[in-house]
Amino acid sequence: MATKMAAPKFPKTVGACVDDLYLRRAQRLKLEREIEAMKDEERAFKEHIIAELSKQNLDGAKGREATAAITWKRTLVVSDWKKFWTWARNDKLGVYVQKRVAIEATKEWMDEMQKPVPGVDPLDVQDLSLTKVSA
């Protein structure tokens, strides 16, 4: 949830406002680059932990601050776009498509109809659950 900020104090001239906006945008873009670098580090740590847990045949581990556990979730991968598009177009099922398959809607359809969507295969994806250790 975004924190509501107080209305900014605007400079007296439009030119000064333009300069302030330019500087604020530059600051935000710098922070976004730093955040992306931090996310990359998090992904690298996550991949390393999953690899180490798998190598040691463990489901999880605990540190002083947090607990990590390997989790699995089912997602969908389109293996044959031609079959999938034929199915989606024939049934006018645009709800199942974004720039990729709308996973939740497609999984619901598959569960409800008890049959697979043509050209779509289930894929189990490994993830890592990370929780703070209780005191």
Residue 5 lies in a domain: no
Residue 27 lies in a domain: yes
Q: What's the rounded Cα separation, in Å, for the pair 110 and 126?
A: 22
Query: What pLDDT, in 10s, does the model give residues 66-123?
Result: 999 999 988 888 888 888 888 877 766 666 666 577 888 888 888 898 988 888 888 8
Residue 81 and residue 124 in one domain = yes
Residue 121 and residue 68 in one domain = yes
Mean pLDDT for 24-53 is 95
Q: Write out the two tokens for 88.
A: 């989606």
Sign of the C-alpha dihedral computed for residues 67, 71, 75 and 79 taken in this order: positive
Residue 103 lies in a domain: yes
What residues make up the domain containing 127?
59-135
- H or E segment and range at residue 130: strand 120-132
